[in-house]
Amino acid sequence: MHPFQFYLKTEVVFGADTHAQVASLVKKHGGSRVLVVYGGGSCVRSGLLQTVTDGLTAEGLTFDTFGGAQPNPRLAHAREGVKKALAFGADFILAVGGGSSIDTAKAIAVGAAAPDTDIWDFWTRKAEPKKVLPVGVVLTLPAAGSETSDSAVLTDEATMTKRGLSTDLNRPAFAVLDPKLAATLPKYQVACGVTDILMHTLDRYFNPVPDNEISDAMAEALLRVVLENGRKVYADPADLHAMSEIMWCGSLSHNGLTGLGGKKDFAVHQLGHALSARYDVAHGASLAAVWGSWAKAVADADGYARFAGFGRKVWGIAEADDKKAALLAIEKQVAYFKSLDMPVCLADFGLGDMDTEELAELCSYGKTRNIGTFRVLDHDAVCAIYRAAKN
């Protein structure tokens, strides 16, 4: 087992109807003036937002609301949230929703704690956050894992740049995981969520460190559970047992646990970030669209051993030849994405004739960075993967 550091401060409250505990949890974690951050309004229409704010009132807590968080959460919107938090005098940020609401809440928490620094300076590494306001989460969409992760992603629409900020300060104080809140999700959102959950572990599992047995075993178990239950929740989001498994796997997949001792790869996330920043496609869908082309481009990095192991331990492939087992595993994983009606190439978005050089420039930050660790990819390699992903 290789050395690692792991810190998870988030109190997880899991189970049906646990959203009734939100106000007491806010109070427990020191909140008195709460800015409630949410997305496009589904939590308003369902009555969840009213239930949450009524609970805050019953606990004697003051609150204000800030809606409008969008998929691929926007920098400009987060900046407005910082202004509102400061004007309101918020001492606690409460996210109600999925990854977009949570990442927006995290950005507001960073910015409100450092009012003299523009939040984008933290995301572009010009400044380092030293403190944040505490964040709580009521999760309604299992996908991003942001409810327990150290990361938050923002998109600058002006430059079509999507960047992530990882710091333990980003980990929420608490996360309420109530699978009943996800029972009415549209099938497309479910599929994107399942894809994102898988990818958070796949991007940790495919790394150049091959001998972390317990981390690998946990990753393989999580992948098997998500593959099985992902089919079930896609067929019926109201299957509460399957949704419970998916919701908890989503949190485990991105809190760092499934990659301890390894080197995170996350090349697929970087490839997808450029795609969603440029064309505003759903995050999970962007990952599915490029994963197969990435996998085929890097599978021989260790003589196909890692992908062969993935095929045997996750997909139950009996093939003895590593190359054949690896390629069959890639084929099965791509077919799985297709079974969820996820795009598996850029043409599935109507982008088969896109300028791959332009997209590669966005991904490589103008040829200033390489991505990945399983196989390090320079600008030319990134461009080749995008070309292979066209159709």
Residue 274 CA to its chain's centroid (Å): 15
Nearest to 183 by CA among 232, 246, 236: 236
pLDDT (tens digit per residue) in 92-146? 999 999 999 999 999 999 999 999 999 999 999 999 999 999 999 999 999 999 9
Q: Where are the domains of the chain?
A: 11-181, 188-388
Average pLDDT, integer, range 213-235? 98
How many C-beta atoms surround the C-beta of residue 357 within 10 A? Answer: 12
- pLDDT mean over 157-167: 94
Euclidean distance between CA atoms 84 and 41, whole angstroms = 19
The two tokens of residue 184 are: 């009415």
Which CATH number, 1.20.1090.10, 3.30.465.10, 3.40.630.30, 1.10.1030.10, labels domain 188-388? 1.20.1090.10
Output the pTM of the full model: 0.96
DSSP state of 186: -
Does the pLDDT value for residue 1 go beyond 90?
no
DSSP calls for 345-362? SGGGGT-TT--HHHHHHH
Rg (CA), the chain: 20
Tokens read off for 23: 């106000």
11-181 placed in CATH 3.40.50.720: no
Tell me the average pLDDT across 310-327: 98
> Token pair of 105, please?
């809440």
Tokens of 259: 């990659």
